[in-house]
Amino acid sequence: ISAELRETKADVELPFLRLSIHRVGVDLRAHTFDLSVQAFMGGIFLQHLQYKVITGELINIINSPDVREGEHLLSVSFVQADTKGPQFKTLYKSTAQAIGIEFTTLELVLHQGVVL
């Protein structure tokens, strides 16, 4: 998923910022006595398109370091179990609803020329 913000200068549209989100997904599983949802995002990048570093590369204002395939920057899981289910006490430890959140690493970079 990618979105670009543009600005107009002297009647010319110029790209300004680009937001890219990689590997977004949801896994939903419904059974007789439970429901589970896994949502994940692989990576996120916010690039300033008008400034570059000395090497000529675009400046990443927000950057998620390389995440290997199968790993995620953000992962949210939700489980809802039926209190009348046969495994409610054993498998779900008498918990009707549970939410789990895992977050890895996010880099924020501030460049004086970009901020001002």
Q: Place 102 in a pLDDT band, splitting at 50, 70 and 90.
A: very high
Q: What per-residue confidence (pLDDT) applies to 113?
A: 64
Domain boundaries, the chain: 2-115
Q: What per-residue confidence (pLDDT) applies to 57?
A: 85
Rounded CA-CA distance 50/9 in Å is 13
pLDDT at 112 over 70: no
Supply 1's token pair: 């998923």
19-68 pLDDT tens trace: 999 889 999 999 999 999 999 998 898 888 888 878 888 888 888 876 66
Q: What per-residue confidence (pLDDT) applies to 78?
A: 97
Strand runs (DSSP E) across 1-116, as ranges?
2-9, 12-30, 34-52, 58-63, 74-81, 97-103, 107-108
Q: What per-residue confidence (pLDDT) applies to 59?
A: 81
Alpha-helical (H) ranges within 1-116 are 112-115
